[in-house]
Every structure is written in C-alpha cells, then in structure tokens.
C-alpha cells in the first residue's frame, strides 16, 4: 500500500496515521448518525415498545391471589389438592385473616372477579362471604372451618380450594390457556366446556376472513395493477387517482359509505329492487354479517394491494411478453410463464401487507360486522373495556402480535422494510 | 400503441348481432324493472337493431343519427320512468349510437396491433370492462355519499324526490347541523388541534432520524428501522391497549406531581400517542427521498465553509422538502383519521371527529355523518392533489421525467 513512501504507515495531513484518522472520522460519523436517530428511537421505545411489552406481560402476571391471600397461599402449600379432603383448620384461619385485611382494603371483590374467570360463581361467593367475614375477628372467633362452611357451603367444597391453590402462583399460563379455549386445572391443562369454546373459533374465523379478504384483493387488484402499468403514462396517472382517492379518504368515511350502501334499505338494495332483480320482501342481507365485513374491508384494503403490485409491474418490460409471443407462445402461456412469475414479488408484498392489516382490524368489523363478522381485535377491545379481563386480553393480543410479527419478518425478508412505498 | 391499423367496415353479420346483444342487455334491466325480463330483451334488441339498420342503410349521416338516437331513447326513458330515466335514456342513446358506428366502421381495431386475432380483440376489450368494473367498485362508495349528504330527509338512501331532481329533495340542513351542533364543532376543533401538533412532532423527529439512518455505517440499521416502522405494523388495538395503560399512569403523574390541568394532560397524551403512529410514514417517505440525494452536495457545502446546521437548512432541506411534506401529510391524515387509540387514550373532552363519527355510526346514527364524510372527502382530495404535485416536483428535481 505504501510502496512509494518508503517506510512507516501513510500519514494524514496532521501527521496521524491515515488508518487511525479514517477510523476516527468514521466513528464521528457513526456518533453523529446515532445522535440524530436517538431522540426518535427513545421516544418510540419509551412510549410505544415498552408500553406494549408491559401490557403483554399482563398475560402471565398473576400477583392478585398471592397478594390478597398471602397467608392462605402459604398454608395451602402443604395441602394435597388431589387428596379429595378439605384443607385443615390452619388454612381456614389464615383465609379469614387474609380476608379481613382484604375486605378493609376492598380488594376481595377484585380477587373474586379474577377467580371468576376460571370458575363461575367465585365472584358472588367472595362478595357474599365478604359481608359476613367482615364481622369475624381472626383472633377471637376460632375455629373457622365450620363457621365458613356455614357462611357458604362452597367453602366446604374441595373444588373451591383447588381453584385457589391452582391459581396462586405469581406467574400463570392460565390466560394463555383461556385464550385457546383451555383452562388451568389441578389436573393440568384441560379444554373448556363445549359452550365456552369461542376464542379458537374466533381466531380461525379471523384467519379465514383475512385470507378471503387478501384473496379477493389479489383477484381485484391484479387486473387493475396490470392495466395501470401497461397503459400510457398519461391515462394511467388519471386512473391512478381512482385508486389513490379511496386510499386517502378517511377510513370512517369509507366504512360509513358501506353502511349506507349495504343496509337493507340501503343504496344497493334499493337499486336492485328498482331494477326488479330482488323482490321487495326478500332484500339481500349484506350488513352485520361476514359478507359486510368482507366487502367493506376488501374495498378499504384494495389500494394496499394495488400499489405494491403496480410498482413491481412497472419494472417488467413489455418486450418480454412480445418476445415470448414471437417465439410462438400463446397469450396465456406468455402471461403464465413469463409475466406472472415476474409479478410474484408484487403479489407477495401486497398480500402480506393486506393480511397484516386485515388480521388486526377493529373499526370496520365493529361497524359493519354485527356479531358474526367480528374479528379477534373486537374481542380484545371487549375484554379491555367491558369485561375488564385484562389478562385474557393481553394473552389474545400476544398471540395476535406474534402472528403479525412473523408476517412482518417475512415481509422484511421478501420485500425489505426500506422498500415500502406509499402513494 | 400508436400503430395505426387500417380499418374497414365490418359485415352486417357481425355488427347487427353484437348491437342487438347490447340492446338486449339494456332491455333485460328495463324489462325486469317492469316485471317482464324476456319481453324487455326482445324489445330492446329489436329497437336497437332497427335503429342500427336505419343508420347504416338509410340515413348514412353520423351526426344526424346521433341526435336521433339520443332523442328516441330520451323519449323512451321518460315514458318508462320520468326524468331520471330520461337522463339515463339519453346517455344510453348516445352510447348505442357510438357503439353502432364503433362496430360498423371497425374503429375498435384502430388502436390495436394489426395482427391480433378476433378473440384477442374481444379479450382486450373484455379485460378493460372488467377493470372498469373494479374501478367503479373502488370509487362508488365515495361518490355515493356526496349527493346523499344533501338529502332533505333524515334517510340514508335516495328519496324519490332526489331521483326526480326535485329541488325540494335537496337541502343543506345536514351541513347546517354540522356547523351549528356543539358536539360536532367541538370534535372538529379537537381534531384540528391534535392532528397538526402530532404531525409537527413526528415530522421533526422523523426527519432527523431518517437523515441519521441514511448515513452509511449506522450500527444496527435494520433493527432500528424495524422498531421505527413497528407502529404501522402492530395492530392498532394492541398499540391502543398498550398506550392506554402507559398514558394513564403518565397522566396521573403529570396531574399529581406536576399539577397540570386535566384537560391539558388529556391533549398531551393524545398528541404524543398520535405522533408515534405518524412516525413510520415520515420515516418511509423521507428515507425514500434521501435515496436520491446526492451526498457530494453536503460535502461541497462543508468544503466551502458551511457548518452542518447551515448545510442542512440551506442545501439538504430544500431538496428533500417534498418528501418531508408528503410524509407530514401522511402523518396528518393518520392522526386526523385515527379512532382506536384516541378512544382508549383520550377522555370525552378530547373527542375527535372520527371518534364522534364512530359513536354516531354505532349508536345514534344521524345523517350529519354523511355531511362530515363529504367534507372529509373534499379534504382528502386536496391532500391527494398536494402529494401528487409534490411527488412530481421531487422527481423533476431529481432529474427524472415526471410520471
């Protein structure tokens, strides 16, 4: 490298070795880049990533039992849940002691609600017993075993104690088991009773409907992308507006438009009745069911399919098709063997994007989906805001997020996250 | 595509059946509306074929035949269903006249390559019809709400008065409701407060980070990029619940320890939450613009003694401005259009326009929503135009031909 300047390393103007100088310059450049990135990175990490991770941690957190009933949980350790016999007096005494403290702090109903997710009836048991246990004195009124069974005969049921013991650890897989329609029992994981199994069905429905939506987006998007890529620039740009306008229009506007169109007294039904295609008394039911969700979401997500497909198809030379045809290929062969394989990256990019967006959708299913057309997101929202079963919501959210992240990773591998194009 | 294919008149054995089929199709619709589909097909086909034969064999004057067919169909339409049908009829008349001559003169071949077989020609036009139908599917829902918002009734469908173009069927009362109703006005104002501030935050932080990311030798570039894009990828409901727990504790802290007013804290929470959601769009558009940025320009500026800040504002910023602005518009629309997060993070006094629409759609469904929807469509048209103009400008700046 330094053949001409006899000996020693090459020097920069200020006398330091060039390599060192270069390394310093690079380090400075790196530092400067990181300084520019840092504010945003910290902002996103603190206000987005960490909140989500800590929310997801709720799916395994289970402090409430051990914090509300610390003595009872300690006593229950020595009780054999499989023996079929009731726990001994110390457990009952500890329980009354814990409950008196909890009732003072008004925490016993929260525990009841928590255990009610696992065993129905626990909530009312804790509420009712709470009123009577309040009057007991943990020091003077011993022994408690019979008194408690007098208060409510469920305290004389081995099952009640088994539930408390099963759900006493601080970290639980119970919510995840619930999320896949199973439950944590003393005998290990078991499936829920038939009438409570709705979540797996909901997951499957979300998946299937997202696939249908993705499929119909491919079917509708491919011809449009093709024609946009093959028309002269000027015409294509005008037609592009028809794709971009829905893309830029508020989601709620489009959803309300579909509500207006699909109703039984809506525009489509009125039009069909006017044409005589549909009898007045047998109007099509297109809203508050899966059809409504699929139609509206296909429309809403279609631009996300067309735009990536279009940007890939733009790069395919039309001469390839002509070359294939000149060598004797039929139209179909030329398309299927030459054009289609070249357009697959576009289909892949669009499909993953649409699928990721579809699987987590909330607003549109909520408005046009009724009860049959809702997604897993709607269930999560229900558990967060109505039933307040945050652990289950977090578990459902974790499963959903894992699916999405796998797809995101695949998208990154196939398309590269830098190559996402908007508009 | 410009290859001019010589065209010749087509035989009647092709023209008449095609035209008759088109007439039959129209007749089918008119027929079913009047309880006899079959009769409709026959009559429609007969009328159209007769007219076509008349033009071709007897009249031989294209201009005159155009007016004849428009008038005939207009009269027929008026006879069948009043003014709306008359207008449709006039359009149909114009179409059939055009279609007849298009077929007869062989004009459909004009713009195609000369060697295409008839089935290829058929596919060519069939494909365009399919695409047209998809475009209609894309745009109809947006167009349908616009006239409906002028409905004088509280209905969500076209009233007979509207279809008759009776002025009594139209009114501005839903707009009036929007502009006078306190609920709507407050939510509109909230949206106008929250979205711009959130946009400013995400644009300023996002642009800086995008510039940082575009430097060579950034350690962990992919991971950083993935983290910054993630607000776009993570399902909104999960982001919303995560932020719900985070911002409720932050909010309590700000109210309790810093003693800020509840209302102010509410806005801060929603603005920050929306800023995060807008960031991926800024990052994506600005990085895309920076790909075409010639780095030697900053070196040249530095060479001539400009410090990094001057270089940024005088050299780099003007060149990447289109990307920054379109990223900002994306961020703006994201915040302006966002429901789920504000539903979880905000409280009633931060109710935004989409939130109000969402409750309106779920509970007390009022036609004012359609007026709001129309206003939003107009806003989005304005935004779309801006982005499109910026994109062209940016391509011109980079020396590409505007597409």
Domain boundaries of chain B, sorted by first residue = 12-113, 116-140, 149-176, 181-397
CB-based contact B216 A29, cutoff 8 Å: yes
Chains A–B, number of C-beta pairs less than 8 Å apart: 279
Percent share of chain B, pLDDT over 90? 23
Residues A68 and A53 in one domain: no
Q: What is the pLDDT of residues B360-369, one digit of tens each?
A: 888 767 788 8
Q: How far is A111 from chain B (nearest CA, A)?
A: 20
Please check the confidence at residue B5 and state whether its pLDDT lies above 80.
no
Tally the residues of chain A.
423
Whole-number Å distance between alpha carbons of A83 and A186: 11
Average pLDDT rounded to a whole number, residues B55-79 = 82
The whole-chain average pLDDT of chain B stands at: 85
- CATH at A393: 1.10.3720.10
**Is residue B289 pLDDT above 70, yes or no?**
yes
- Asked if residue A244 belongs to a domain, the reply is yes
Statement: the pTM of the whole predicted model exceeds 0.90 = no
Q: Which residues of B touch A279 (CB under 8 A)?
A: none
Q: What is the ipTM of this complex?
A: 0.84
Looking at chain B, which residue has its C-alpha nearest residue A271?
A: B158
**Cβ-nearest to B138 among A270, A299, A363:** A299
Counted domains in chain A: 3
Q: Tell me, what's the pLDDT at A6?
A: 52
pLDDT per 10-residue tile (average), chain A, 423 residues:
58 82 87 90 92 89 84 82 79 83 83 83 83 77 78 81 83 84 78 80 92 96 93 87 88 88 84 78 83 92 91 88 90 90 88 90 88 88 88 91 89 70 53
The partner residue sitting opposite A397, judged by closest CB among B137, B224, B238, is B238
> Which of A51, A278, A368 to mutate against chain B (most B CBs within 10 Å)?
A51
Nearest residue, CB atoms, B233 vs list A227, A356, A394? A356
Residues 32-71 (A) with a CB less than 8 A from some CB of B: 32-37, 39-41, 43-45, 47-56
* pLDDT average, residue stretch B301-307: 90
Q: Is A217 found in the same domain as A141?
A: no
Residues A137 and A38 occupy one common structural domain: no
Hey, which of A84-88, B129-133, B304-308 has the most confident mean pLDDT?
A: B129-133
Chain A partners within 8 Å of B244 (Cβ): 55, 384
Q: Is residue A180 part of a domain?
A: no
Residues of the domain holding A45: 1-57
What 3-state DSSP class applies to B5? coil
Q: What pLDDT is attached to residue B403?
A: 41
Q: What is the pLDDT of residue A339?
A: 92
Taking only residues 305 to 334 of chain A, the set having a beta carbon closer than 8 angstroms to any beta carbon of chain B reads 331
Q: Is residue A188 part of a domain?
A: no
A340 and A357 fall within a common domain:
yes
A40 → closest Cβ in B135, B145, B208: B208
At A305 the pLDDT is 92
Which CATH class, in words, describes the domain spanning B181-397?
mainly alpha
Interchain contact B318–A (C-beta under 8 A): no
- On whether residue A126 sits in a domain, the answer given is yes
Q: What is the pLDDT of residue A422?
A: 56
- One domain, residues A92 and A223: no
Banded model confidence at residue B275, pLDDT cuts 50, 70, 90 = very high
Q: What is the mean pLDDT of residues B136-157?
A: 85
Same-domain check for residues A356 and A383: yes
The shortest CB-CB distance from A52 to any of B211, B216, B238 is to B238
Q: Which of A187, A422, A80, A234 is nearest to B280 (CA)?
A: A422
Q: Is residue A194 included in any domain, yes or no?
A: no
* Residues B331, B201: Cα–Cα separation, whole Å: 10
CB contact (8 A) between residue A381 and residue B237: yes
Taking CB atoms and an 8 Å cutoff, what residues of chain B touch A250? 333, 336-337, 354, 373, 376-377, 380
CA atoms B365, B370, B373, B375: torsion sign: negative
Tell me which chain A residues have a C-beta less than 8 angstroms from the C-beta of B138.
224, 242-243, 246, 299, 302-303
Report CB contact under 8 Å: B237, A380. yes
Same domain, A287 and A330: yes
Confidence of residue B1 (pLDDT cuts 50, 70, 90): very low
CB-CB under 8 Å, B287 with A48: no
In a domain, A182, yes or no: no
From the list A33, A44, A254, which residue is nearest B279 (CB)?
A44
Q: Categorize the per-residue pLDDT at B342 as very low, low, confident or very high, splitting at 50, 70 and 90.
A: very high
Residues A207 and A155 in one domain: no
Instruction: Calculate mean pLDDT across residues B39-60.
Output: 83
Token pair 């047209």 is found at B132
Among the three residues A36, A57, A78, which one is the final residue of a domain in this structure? A57
Predicted confidence at residue B10, as pLDDT, reads 80
Indicate whether A204 and A326 sit together in one domain. Answer: yes
């Amino acid at each position: 490298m330094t053949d001409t300047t006899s000996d020693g390393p090459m020097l920069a103007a200020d006398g330091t070795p060039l390599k060192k100088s270069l390394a310093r310059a690079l380090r400075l450049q790196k530092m400067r880049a990181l300084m520019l990135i840092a504010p945003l990175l910290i902002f996103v990490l603190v206000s987005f990533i960490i909140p989500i991770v800590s929310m997801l941690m709720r799916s395994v957190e289970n402090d409430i039992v051990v914090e509300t009933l610390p003595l009872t949980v300690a006593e229950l350790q020595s009780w054999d849940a499989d023996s079929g016999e009731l726990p001994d007096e110390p457990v009952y005494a500890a329980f009354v002691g814990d409950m008196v403290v909890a009732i003072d702090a008004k925490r016993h109903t929260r525990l009841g609600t928590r255990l009610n997710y696992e065993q129905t009836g626990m909530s009312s048991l804790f509420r009712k017993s709470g009123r009577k246990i309040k009057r007991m004195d943990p020091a003077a009124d011993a022994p408690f075993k019979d008194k408690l069974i007098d208060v409510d005969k469920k305290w004389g049921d081995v099952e009640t104690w088994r539930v408390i013991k099963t759900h006493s650890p601080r970290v639980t897989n119970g919510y995840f088991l619930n999320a896949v329609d199973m439950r944590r029992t003393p005998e290990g994981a078991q499936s829920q009773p038939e009438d409570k199994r709705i979540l797996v069905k909901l997951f499957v429905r979300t998946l299937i409907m997202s696939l249908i939506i993705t499929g119909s987006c491919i079917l509708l998007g491919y011809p449009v992308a093709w024609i946009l890529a093959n028309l002269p620039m000027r015409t294509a740009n005008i037609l592009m507006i028809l794709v971009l306008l829905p893309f830029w229009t508020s989601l709620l506007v489009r959803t309300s438009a579909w509500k207006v169109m699909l109703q039984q007294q809506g525009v489509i039904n009125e039009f069909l009745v006017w044409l005589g295609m549909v009898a007045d008394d047998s109007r099509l039911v297109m809203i508050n069911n899966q059809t409504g969700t699929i139609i509206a979401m296909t429309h809403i997500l279609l631009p996300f399919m067309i735009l990536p497909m279009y940007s890939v198809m733009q790069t395919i030379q039309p001469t390839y098709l002509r070359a294939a045809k000149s060598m004797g290929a039929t139209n179909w062969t030329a398309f299927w063997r030459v054009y289609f394989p070249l357009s697959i990256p576009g289909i892949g990019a669009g499909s993953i994007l649409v699928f990721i967006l579809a699987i987590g959708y909330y607003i549109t299913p909520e408005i046009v989906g009724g009860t049959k057309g809702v997604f897993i997101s709607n269930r999560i929202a229900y558990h967060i805001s109505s039933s307040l079963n945050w652990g289950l919501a977090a578990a459902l959210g974790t499963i959903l997020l894992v699916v999405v992240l796998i797809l995101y990773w695949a998208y990154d591998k196939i398309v590269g996250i830098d190559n996402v194009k908007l508009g | 595509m410009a290859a001019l294919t010589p065209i010749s008149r087509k035989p009647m054995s092709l023209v008449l059946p095609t035209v008759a089929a088109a007439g039959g199709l129209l007749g089918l619709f008119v027929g079913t509306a009047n309880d006899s589909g079959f009769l409709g097909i026959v009559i429609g086909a007969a009328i159209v074929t007769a007219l076509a034969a008349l033009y071709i064999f007897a009249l031989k004057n294209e201009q005159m035949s155009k007016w004849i067919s428009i008038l005939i169909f207009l009269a027929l339409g008026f006879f069948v269903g009043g003014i709306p049908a008359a207008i449709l009829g006039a359009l149909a008349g114009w179409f059939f006249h055009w279609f007849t001559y298009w077929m007869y003169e062989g004009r459909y071949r004009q713009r195609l390559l000369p060697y295409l077989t008839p089935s290829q020609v058929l596919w060519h036009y069939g494909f365009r019809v399919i695409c047209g139908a998809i475009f209609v599917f894309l745009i109809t829902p947006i167009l349908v709400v616009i006239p409906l918002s002028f409905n004088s009734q509280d209905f969500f469908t076209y009233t007979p008065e509207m279809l008759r173009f009776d002025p009594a069927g139209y009114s501005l009362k839903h707009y009036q409701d929007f502009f006078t109703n306190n609920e709507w006005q407050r939510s509109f104002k909230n949206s106008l407060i929250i979205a711009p501030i959130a946009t400013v935050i995400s644009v300023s932080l996002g642009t800086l980070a995008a510039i940082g990311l575009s430097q060579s030798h950034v350690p962990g570039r992919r991971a950083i990029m993935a983290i910054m894009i993630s607000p776009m990828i993570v399902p909104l409901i999960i982001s919303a619940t995560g932020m719900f727990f985070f911002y409720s504790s932050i909010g309590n802290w700000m109210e309790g320890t810093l003693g800020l007013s509840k209302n102010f804290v509410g806005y801060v929470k929603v603005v920050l939450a929306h800023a995060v959601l807008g960031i991926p769009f800024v990052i994506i558009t600005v990085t895309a613009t920076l790909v075409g940025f010639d780095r030697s320009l900053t070196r040249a500026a530095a060479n001539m003694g400009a410090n990094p800040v001057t270089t940024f504002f005088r050299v780099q910023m003007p060149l990447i401005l289109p990307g920054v602005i379109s990223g900002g518009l994306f961020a703006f629309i994201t915040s302006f259009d966002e429901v789920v997060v504000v539903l979880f993070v905000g409280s009633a006094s931060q109710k935004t326009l989409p939130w109000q629409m969402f409750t309106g759609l779920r509970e007390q469904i009022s036609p004012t929503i359609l007026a709001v929807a129309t206003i939003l469509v107009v806003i989005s048209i304005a935004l779309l135009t801006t982005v499109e103009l910026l994109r062209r400008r940016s391509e011109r700046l980079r020396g590409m031909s505007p597409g």
